[in-house]
């Protein structure tokens, strides 16, 4: 019997070495949405070609049932002791998606997963720890619009234009939850609920959606009159924080929309188009009025503010002790999260940095405008070491730890960790840059 796998990750371009260093993961074919048939690959046509060739058909009969493909994760072919201030490859995998799926377009690190989106709306789900392909699904209408995934306790939810595509943790489609309104923002979620901004005739609204309910559009909605909602809400514990184009910022309970702040809203003097960010220390609002404010999440009072001098339209990245914000005229600005004056002044600025990537106790890892990965000293922003390699296409920011998730221009998905102690053995991902070659990425 001939077993046909529609689409899948493939092994290394070169056959990997067999032995104790080689690792692999089980085959995980792409799950096609029942209402979203494959566009560029037809198992029926392939089967017909095989039957038309006597030799191939005979070989098929002799081989019996074909085994699922094995997808090899790159490992060090010749492990060696690594130099301090270099980068070690934790894992890497080659997705064979360039022709079938149009190549990788976005990368996300969420919960225990890394998601690689492709042009045709397929999501490849990798184990964050080891890079193994867990499953892949072609999301209905995902080629038109596919927001970042929302990982719930039992589900993975993909918001599209007017629907939530709900999958279980094994990649099985649970339901397509069609909505009667267009989705405007990215989404957040917990328990069985997803929270997002949507467009309605009277203005933008934040809606709470129960993904287990097949019939109701939403559990509740919070309306902002005569304005839109373009910023993704934020969720901490039992409180949902949201903002609108008129500058209003609100906090309500997750289950019944009861106001949390005494005055209901905090107001900025410009539209809020950047996604809200919140954690246990506060709510961070970047506004077109040129300010980044940190609010007390229990009462909406301003804890501190930063005047950027330019409209802020991208959300900050908040780590355990720092806040990073991209300012169009300044590059990356780094602010102290807890200590400091009410009117914050930057700890340092990095004019040639385009994106935050990761952080550990000593360094901040960033993408520089010459397409290098650079380790900057957290105290002063000076470049400590950088990658000679420049073939990066995409990154998934990771404020959780020092692991860097990247996609190279040839489509390889990688997890890279810095080498900061002697005696580590592994595969060099990026050769370190010598002291003379290092160019300060911050002033």
Q: What is the mean pLDDT of residues 242-252?
A: 95
d(CA 136, CA 28): 7
Strands (E), 337-432: 348-350, 353-359, 363-368, 373-377, 383-386, 392-396, 404-408, 413-419, 425-426, 428-430
Closest CA to 191 of 128, 139, 255: 255
Closest CA to 60 of 44, 47, 74: 47
Residue 172 phi/psi, 5-degree rounding, is -85, 135
Residue 116's SS3 state is: strand
d(CA 289, CA 325): 15
**Residue 374: strand pairing partners:** 366, 386
Q: What is the mean pLDDT of residues 244-260?
A: 95
Report how far Cα 303 is from the mean position of its chain's Cα atoms: 28
Average pLDDT score, the chain = 83
pLDDT at position 92 is 93
Yes or no: say if 364 and 375 are a contact pair by the CB < 8 Å rule.
Answer: yes
Summarize pLDDT for 56-107 with one digit per residue, the tens.
444 343 333 333 334 445 544 456 566 777 888 899 998 767 677 889 999 9
d(CA 413, CA 121): 17
Phi-psi sector, 214: left (phi>0), alpha (psi -120 to 50), beta: alpha
Q: Report the percentage of the chain scoring pLDDT > 90.
A: 68
Q: What is the mean pLDDT of residues 2-17?
A: 36
Closest CA to 27 of 102, 120, 93: 93
30-32 and 133-138 beta bridge pairing: parallel
pLDDT at position 290 is 97
pLDDT at position 159 is 98
**Residue 356: strand pairing partners:** 366
d(CA 207, CA 224): 11
Q: Report the percentage of the chain scoring pLDDT > 70.
A: 76
At residue 32 the predicted structure's pLDDT band, cuts being 50, 70 and 90, is confident
Summarize pLDDT for 364-373 with one digit per residue, the tens.
999 999 999 9
Yes or no: say if 430 and 388 are a contact pair by the CB < 8 Å rule.
Answer: yes
Q: What is the mean pLDDT of residues 106-133?
A: 96
> Residue 50: which H helix or E strand, with range?
helix 43-52
Closest CA to 334 of 274, 377, 388: 377
Summarize pLDDT for 273-310 with one digit per residue, the tens.
999 999 999 999 999 999 999 999 999 999 999 999 99
d(CA 358, CA 355): 10
> Residue 54: which H helix or E strand, with range?
helix 54-63
Closest CA to 279 of 188, 184, 402: 188
Report how far Cα 308 is from the mean position of its chain's Cα atoms: 26
Asked if pLDDT for residue 332 goes beyond 90, the answer is yes
Could you give the angle at which helices 43-52 and 54-63 cross, rounded to 10 degrees? 110
Alpha helix ranges (H) inside 268-418: none
Closest CA to 325 of 295, 291, 283, 370: 291
State the pTM of this model. Answer: 0.82
Task: List C-alpha distances in Å: 232 to 197, 228, 349.
Answer: 6, 12, 26
pLDDT at position 355 is 97
Q: What is the mean pLDDT of residues 376-395?
A: 94
Summarize pLDDT for 333-345 with one digit per residue, the tens.
999 999 899 999 9
Yes or no: say if 241 and 250 are a contact pair by the CB < 8 Å rule.
Answer: yes
Summarize pLDDT for 416-437 with one digit per residue, the tens.
999 887 655 555 565 443 333 3
């Amino acid at each position: 019997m001939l077993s046909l796998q529609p689409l899948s990750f493939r092994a290394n371009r070169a056959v990997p070495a067999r032995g104790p260093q080689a690792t692999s993961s089980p085959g995980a074919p792409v799950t096609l949405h029942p209402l979203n048939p494959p566009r560029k690959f037809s198992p029926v046509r392939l089967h017909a070609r095989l039957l038309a060739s006597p030799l191939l058909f005979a070989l098929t009969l002799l081989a019996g049932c074909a085994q699922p493909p094995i997808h090899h994760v790159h490992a060090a072919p010749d492990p060696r002791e690594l130099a301090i201030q270099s980068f070690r490859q934790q894992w890497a995998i080659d997705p064979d998606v360039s022709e079938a799926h149009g190549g990788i377009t976005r990368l996300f690190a969420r919960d225990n997963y890394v998601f690689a989106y492709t042009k045709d709306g397929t999501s490849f789900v990798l184990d964050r720890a080891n890079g193994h392909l867990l499953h892949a699904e072609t999301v209905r209408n995902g080629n038109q619009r596919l927001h970042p995934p929302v990982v719930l306790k039992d589900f993975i939810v993909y918001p599209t234009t007017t629907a939530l595509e709900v999958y279980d943790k094994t990649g099985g489609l649970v339901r397509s939850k069609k909505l009667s309104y267009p989705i405007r923002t990215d989404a957040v979620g917990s328990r069985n609920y997803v929270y997002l901004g949507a467009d309605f005739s009277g203005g933008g609204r934040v809606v709470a959606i129960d993904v287990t309910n097949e019939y109701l559009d939403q559990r509740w909605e919070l309306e902002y009159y005569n304005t839109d909602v373009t910023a993704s809400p934020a969720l901490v514990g039992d409180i949902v924080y949201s903002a609108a184009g008129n500058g209003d910022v609100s906090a309500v309970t997750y289950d019944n929309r009861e106001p949390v702040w005494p005055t209901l809203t905090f107001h900025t003097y410009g539209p809020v188009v950047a996604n809200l960010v919140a954690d246990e220390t506060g709510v961070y609002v970047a506004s077109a009025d040129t300010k980044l404010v940190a609010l007390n999440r229990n009462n909406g009072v301003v804890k501190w503010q930063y005047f950027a001098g330019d409209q802020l339209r991208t959300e900050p990245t908040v780590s355990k002790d720092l806040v990073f914000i991209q300012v169009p005229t300044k590059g990356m600005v780094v602010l102290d999260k807890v200590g400091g004056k009410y009117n914050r002044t930057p700890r340092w600025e990095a004019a040639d940095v385009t994106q935050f990537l990761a952080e550990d106790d000593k360094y901040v890892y960033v993408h520089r405008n010459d397409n290098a990965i650079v380790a900057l000293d957290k105290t002063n922003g000076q470049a400590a070491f950088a990658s000679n390699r420049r073939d990066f296409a995409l990154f998934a920011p990771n404020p959780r730890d020092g692991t860097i998730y990247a996609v190279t221009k040839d489509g390889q998905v990688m997890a890279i960790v810095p080498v900061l102690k002697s005696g580590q053995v592994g595969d060099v991902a990026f050769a370190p840059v010598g002291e003379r070659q290092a160019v300060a990425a911050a002033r």
